Amino acid sequence: MSQLQFSNVGKQFNGNVWAVKDFNLNIANGEFVSFLGPSGCGKTTTLRMIAGLEENTHGVIQFDSDIVSDPQNRKFLPPEKRNVGMMFQSYAVWPHMNVFENVAYPLKFQKLDKSAVQTEVQKVLKTVELDGLENRKPNELSGGQQQRVALARGLVMKPRILLLDEPLSNLDAKLREKMRRDIRDIQKKLKLTLVYVTHDQKEAFQMSDRVVVMNKGQIEQVGTPLEIQSSPKTAFVKDFVEIGQL
């Protein structure tokens, strides 16, 4: 069964400007799917519509059997009720909080007792290999460690879907390569449904079960990395893949 479903989803601005149009896609439980395309193609807008940070103006977004957004029927579930984790391009860690406090922050809204919070935070810190750094402030961490704090904060709430928006673009090449492997390993270990936004072909093809190539707000092709690379179905995908291989 599909965990995330888009049916003719669109986002229209100012009456006639489409950021996303006629977006149809099913994402299975536990699948790693990347939205790949150039800047301005609509991939981040689509991610934000999943999170509820943007409202789609057309179509239906559904989690399992639950409709979370259907503008025609005036249905919209706010972000805090979707149980979706999100990791942004910027680290977005609070400088006045230590590692433990940053990661524990989403649990404040679940009204857990202190021992339960301690258990959940320690569990996720171990998963992202930050155990032992609980009392450090962000300025005492490397860029990669700060990125892991942001990832842990997204994981601690046990989201039904985890969304990552260009999360590695601020890291150097060597660290970016390691984080790619680590994110993929964590996703497999936890059997997470993960949607990943990137403009980096290598990133998308290395990490994903399937890739959604987007252009001008619409889907050009959906397929496995091998299918996209070996059998591009449109001129845009063919040119895009060839440029990425230069």
pLDDT at 1 over 60: no
Q: What's the predicted TM-score (pTM) here?
A: 0.91
- How many residues are recorded in the chain? 246
Contact criterion met (CB below 8 Å) for 221 and 213:
yes
Structure confidence at residue 59 (pLDDT): 98
- For residue 245, name the pLDDT band (cuts at 50, 70, 90): low
Q: Supply the pLDDT for residue 244.
A: 63
pLDDT category at 113 given cuts 50, 70, 90 is confident
Tokens for 129, please give them.
């290999």
* Residue range 137-162: mean pLDDT, rounded: 91
pLDDT (tens digit per residue) in 158-167: 999 999 999 8
The tens digit of pLDDT for each residue in 75-99 reads 999 998 999 998 887 767 889 999 9
Tell me the mean pLDDT in the region 217-235: 96
Closest CA to 105 of 90, 78, 89, 85: 85
Distance (Å, whole) CA 227 – CA 218: 19
Non-local (6+) Cβ contacts of 69 within 8 A are 49, 52, 55, 56, 60, 61, 75, 76, 77
- The answer to which of 20-34, 105-119, 148-162 has the lowest mean pLDDT is 105-119
The residues that bridge with 17 in the sheet, in sequence order, are: 13
- CA atoms of 198 and 147, how far apart (whole Å): 16
Residue 158 has phi, psi (to 5 degrees) of: 55, 60
Model confidence pLDDT, tens digit, residues 10-46: 999 887 889 999 999 999 999 999 999 999 999 999 9
Which of 63, 61, 66, 67 has the alpha carbon at shortest distance from 23?
A: 61
Bridge partner residues of 18 (DSSP): 12
Q: Where do the domains of the chain lie, and which CATH numbers do they carry?
A: 2-83+159-245 (3.40.50.300), 89-158 (no CATH)
At 163, is the secondary structure helix, strand, or coil?
Answer: strand
Closest alpha carbon to 125 in 146, 99, 159, 147: 99
The greatest distance separating any two alpha carbons of the chain, rounded to the nearest whole angstrom, comes to: 56
181-209: burial string, b at 16+ Cβ within 10 Å, e else: ebbbebbeeeebbbbbbbbbbebbbebbb
